[in-house]
Structure 1
Amino acid sequence: MAYNYALREIKDWCDSRKCLIDRCSLEKEYILPAVLRFPNEVNQLNNLPEAKKDFPKLSEIPSQVLQQAIKQLHRGWEYFQRIGFGFPRFKKYGQFKSLLFPQFRENPVTNLHIKLPKIGMIPINLHRPIPNGFVVKQVRIMRKADRCYASLNIQCHVSIPDPDPHGHPIGVDIGLEKFLATSDGTLVKPPKFFKKLL
């Protein structure tokens, strides 16, 4: 619903800018104020609280899911602007195959359930346990065939040491006649393991 409403705003804005300067169509004309700016992603995201007042059903959906739907629309719009074809299309009921929950305050996954905002606890079959030290960053719920799957993005803070280079650098080349040749001038003959075993 939010996706289609946002797309309708974009289409209306585009259609209102197609009118010829010297005449109007006899059938229909989109008349929007000339000062009305393009409904970009930031404006549409900021208008979501007002849209929830106009459409109370939107209040039943987690805010982050609505925001992700609008972001998905604008990724499609940017693709259309860059490539020149593939104008975003309206989505029918049930056409969205996934929902993205982009952030969580606490770990939503237990061994038996996943807790999603405004949906609650959902029983799951945990494929493998989340390793110690990892935090769930995102959850994408996907519908495939007759089942729903949850794809988890996890993150761990790892301190990677940045050692100072030390020691003697050396270059190594591997060849056919000489198995190994180093930049120091060391040559290693091929080991020929098979011939030795024979």
Structure 2
Amino acid sequence: MRIAYQYKLRPTNEQAEKIDRTLDMLRCQYNYMLAERFNWWEQNRCSINACPLICHLPELKDRPTRFSQQKSLTQLKVDRPWYKEIHSQVLQEVPKRVELAFDRWLKGDVNGKRLGKPRFKGKGQYKTFTYPQFKQHHFVNNKVKLSKIGDVKVIVHRPIPDGFSINTVSVTIKSNGYFVTFSLEDKSVPEIQPDIRGGKMVGIDVGLIDFFVTSDNESVPAPKYLRKSEGKLKSAQRKVSRRKKGSKRRQKAIKQLAKKHRKVADTRKDFHFKTANNLLSKYDIIAVEKLNIKGMAKSRLAKSVHDAGWGQFNTILTNKAVSLRDMKSAAPLKEAKAGQLIVEVKPHGTSVECSRCGHKVTKTLAQRQHNCPNCNLSIGRDLNAAINIKNRAKVLIEDLLPPIKFETEKGTQLSL
């Protein structure tokens, strides 16, 4: 099992200066290696789809790879000796990040979805560096030993579980300070398989008035953290706009604005984790809608959709449980901390279709009650949608379950 623990760092002024300088040098090297790949792409691509039978073809250049760029780091330290201040493995992580961003643009991710063109990082935009190999005895007495930086004090608000070993360590700078993230692993912890056949099941319908409504008629109101903090955020934004660009007062105002945004994001994330844990403690199978959140975030309800944070909530659920699409794939199941199953269903028609008879009842967004003229069912709009989500998830699970075989008194085999 793999988990990640994040703690806050309390570096000295000298250590904080080393971290900032390390991040800035890594940023410059990231931009340089990304420019190498862009130059190769521009010089080797062809903008036309036809050419004469006899034509001159320029000599193609070798494509920069992660390993070829890592080899160049040796000469980099000769030409620029100040790069010796950075640990070699931390510096080798830069070509890895460049290759990942570049390949996702050209080839796409695991699902074949291509991302946007990578951008050069401006000052202050490179915020994390990683030690890929870390020894356990370098984290003792509330201090972590970071190579080339020193022993940095850590606020250990919760101890590392027994049996877990530290694989990698990442240092991140945020608006509210420096943080360290430990990637922990314990191979002795077995994978927890969800109880598909006899588990307790629920369907949830997310919304903007209620964060979600379950098929058991339980609701959680939407906290609307961004809406409640708009006054303070507007005041902080005005201070930034009034300051002269490039001045220290503007930098100070930007930090104050970033802290307020960070507080909104942290409180929302805390709410998502607590809500997800509450759901996972009650149910074994949770059915959710596979929403097009990016498309909804471009509508007139964009601010409310961002404030709700449905995408982050779904990510937390799927990280703690097993997704049905993982069980259908040929790949081995990922580890599930909670031992539950998440089922994603198509959202089309869940609010229109009647959960009792299947009759379609069209309604506007303002109509919050479902009244079916066919079977006289009268329930809340969101509750009706949650029941439909649960019913659709049952159909998907039944297709996955193997038949149960048993023998009769006469010796014949039957299956259900």
CA contact (8 A) 1:13 1:38 kept: yes
Gap runs ≥5 in structure 2? 1-27, 49-57, 109-113, 191-196, 201-405, 409-416
1:52 and 2:52 are equivalent in the alignment: no
- 1:20 deviates by 8.2
CA contact (8 A) 1:107 1:135 kept: no
Assess if the C-alpha contact under 8 Å between 2:128 and 2:173 holds in 1.
Answer: yes
| Displacement of 1:19 | 7.7
Cα distance, 1:34–1:111 mapped onto 2, change above 3 Å: same
Q: Which residue of 2 aligns with 1:122?
A: 152
Structure number with the higher helix fraction is 2
Question: 2:44: which partner in 1?
Answer: 17
Cα shift at 1:127? 2.0
The 2-side partners of 1:82 and 1:17 are apart by 16
Q: Percent identity?
A: 32
Q: Take 1:35 and 1:82, find their aligned partners in 2: how far apart are those partners?
A: 20
Cα offset for 1:95?
0.8
Name the larger-Rg structure: 1
Number of equivalenced pairs: 157
Shift of 1:159: 7.4
Aligned residue in 2 for 1:68: 93
* TM-score under structure 1 length normalisation: 0.67
How far apart in 1 are the matches of 2:116 and 2:85? 31
Render the CA deviation track for 1:134-170: whole Å, top value 9, x for unaligned: 221111112221211111112234176xxxxxxxxxx
Return the match for 2:121 from 91, 94, 98.
91
SS at match of 2:107: helix
SS at match of 2:138: coil
Aligned residue in 1 for 2:107: 82
1:38 aligns with 2:51: no
- TM-score (ref. length: structure 2): 0.34
Q: CA deviation at 1:73?
A: 1.0
Cα pair distance change 1:123/1:159, threshold 3 Å: closer
- Seen in structure 2, the aligned counterparts of structure 1 residues 85 and 34 have a Cα distance that, compared at 3 Å, is farther
Matched AA of 1:57: W
Letter in 2 for 1:81: L
2:31 paired residue number? 4
After TM superposition, the runs of 4+ consecutive aligned structure 1 residues lying more than 4 A away are 18-21
SS of 1:38's equivalent in the other structure is coil
Query: Considering only aligned residues, what root-mean-square deviation do their CA atoms show, in Å?
Result: 3.2
Q: Structure 2 matches for 1:134-173, cutoff 5 A?
A: 134-158=164-188
